[in-house]
């Protein structure tokens, strides 16, 4: 399967790109608003993998070109850029493609981080509104620590809650989560349930800030 | 230490009462709007403990009487009754007492459960507004499965995120959480951070509803 990481030059995009490249046979392409930046980053990821003895081609393109060739398109951009990013790639998406939303909108004040959901209820629902009607949207990967994901020497052990209204698309994304060593996909129900998943992310940051020895936290449900 | 569980006839109140009675030397009193009901429930808890070979007196009183004798007062009532419950017991509370808020306000629709925070930001902040100025409020125990807590044959293994603005009161409640076998207290920061803790509860219910074999879920951060 070909996976495009739009905004794949950022933290979570980098981590997912490296893990899918390392742990699976899926083909990974990096997208960015700036195709040159995407190419530079793709080369960096290639080098990171080479350092641990893995030779893999990772390509970098403009977001449109990256999305065009992929079946699964991860909108790993800052939440405020999610709608315009989806609109940019909409012309190259079809009903066999899946948009994945891993972003979270947060605010910060003196107390810590807070969940700051958009009016639609969640970033995933913003992505869904911006997406063509026939393209299913699935939310996943919000609660992973980018640092742990990108550090290929860190063993992961974390749950990935997946939400979506299209059960086939949701199953595909759950399988892609399971393909990464140490991640366990869980079904969070329909896309309308995404808010309570996204809001775990500011909690993870608050816990890391307030408890000695806790950092790069993930979450497990048991 | 004497702990009063206001609304201690409900699910989470029952679970905390039984665990503190079983695992610690703290004295537990049950409060209810209806003193007779509190006494009946206290007798039931006494019998539950006796079944597993533990003989302990648990008393049941009106909420006011229960709060009067206790140093830690847990407001384990449904969220809509939290403000009036706190107002009822306010005259018997002093600066050496601590109010603990474990309640979560949720809504439910065809998709599942959603976090439905009160205007104050969280139930804990509602409790704080209703509390006398000199009585510290701490939030904790929102993300425990009442079923697992009340079933004394279930080994717990769950994190308890504790928030509060009074560090001494927060430490006291973190210690009370740690006193229950299998619970690990974590510092979630100030009371203003409580919303992202409370919102984990509807997520736990959604996960139990959508994943075979998952029930009575707790959460671990690692």
Name the token pair of B113: 């459960």
Residue A219, domain member (yes or no): no
What is the ipTM for the molecules in this complex? 0.96
In this predicted structure, the answer to whether residue B9 has a pLDDT above a threshold of 90 is no
Q: Smallest CA–CA separation between B31 and chain A, in Å?
A: 31
Residue A220, domain member (yes or no): no
In this predicted structure, the answer to whether residue A173 has a pLDDT above a threshold of 90 is yes
Which of these, A25, A125, A109, lies nearest to B196 by C-alpha position? A109
Longest dimension (CA), chain B: 48
Identify the CATH number of the domain in which residue A9 sits. 3.40.50.720
Average pLDDT, whole number, for chain B? 96
3-class state of residue A73 by DSSP: strand
Alpha carbon of residue A181 to chain centroid: 16
List, in order, residues 6 or more apart from B137 with CB less than 8 Å away.
Answer: B98, B99, B100, B101, B124, B127, B128, B131, B164, B165, B169, B191
Residue B216, domain member (yes or no): no
Name the token pair of A30: 């990096």
Residue A221, domain member (yes or no): no
Residue A218, domain member (yes or no): no
- A174 touches A185 (CB < 8 A): yes
pLDDT digits (tens, 9 = 90+) for A42-63: 999 999 999 999 988 899 999 9
Alpha carbon of residue B181 to chain centroid: 16
Residue A61, domain member (yes or no): yes
DSSP B72-138: EEEE-S-GGGHHHHHHHHGGG--TT-EEEE----EEE-SS-EEE---TTSSHHHHHHHHS-TTS-EE
Closest CA in chain A for residue B206: A188
Residue A95, domain member (yes or no): yes
pLDDT digits (tens, 9 = 90+) for B41-97: 999 999 999 999 998 889 999 999 999 999 999 999 999 999 999 999 999 999 999
| Choice among A46-50, A192-196, A198-202 with the minimum mean pLDDT | A46-50
B206 part of contact set with chain A, CB < 8 Å: yes
With contacts defined as CB-CB under 8 Å, which chain A residues touch B206? 188-189, 193, 196
State residue B220's pLDDT score.
Answer: 98
The range of the structural domain enclosing residue B100 comes to 2-210
Residue B217, domain member (yes or no): no
Structural domain count, chain B = 1
């Amino acid at each position: 399967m070909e996976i495009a990481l739009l905004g794949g030059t950022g933290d979570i995009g980098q981590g997912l790109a490296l893990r899918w490249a390392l742990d699976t046979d899926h083909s990974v392409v990096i997208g960015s608003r700036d195709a040159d930046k995407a190419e530079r980053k793709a080369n960096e990821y290639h080098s990171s993998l080479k350092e641990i003895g893995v030779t893999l081609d990772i390509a970098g393109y403009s977001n449109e070109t990256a999305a065009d060739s992929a079946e699964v398109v991860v909108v790993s951009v800052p939440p405020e850029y999610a709608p315009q990013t989806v609109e940019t790639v909409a012309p190259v998406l079809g009903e066999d493609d899946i948009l994945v939303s891993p972003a979270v909108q947060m605010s910060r004040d003196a107390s810590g981080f807070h969940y700051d959901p958009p009016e639609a209820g969640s970033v995933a629902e913003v992505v869904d509104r911006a997406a063509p009607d026939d393209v299913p949207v699935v939310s996943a990967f919000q609660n992973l620590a980018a640092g742990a994901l990108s550090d290929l020497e860190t063993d992961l052990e974390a749950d990935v809650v997946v939400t979506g209204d299209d059960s086939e698309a949701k199953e595909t994304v759950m399988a892609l989560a399971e393909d990464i060593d140490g991640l366990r996909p869980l079904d969070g129900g329909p896309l309308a349930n995404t808010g309570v998943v996204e809001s775990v992310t500011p909690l993870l940051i608050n816990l890391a800030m307030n408890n000695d020895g806790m950092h790069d936290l993930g979450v497990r449900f048991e």
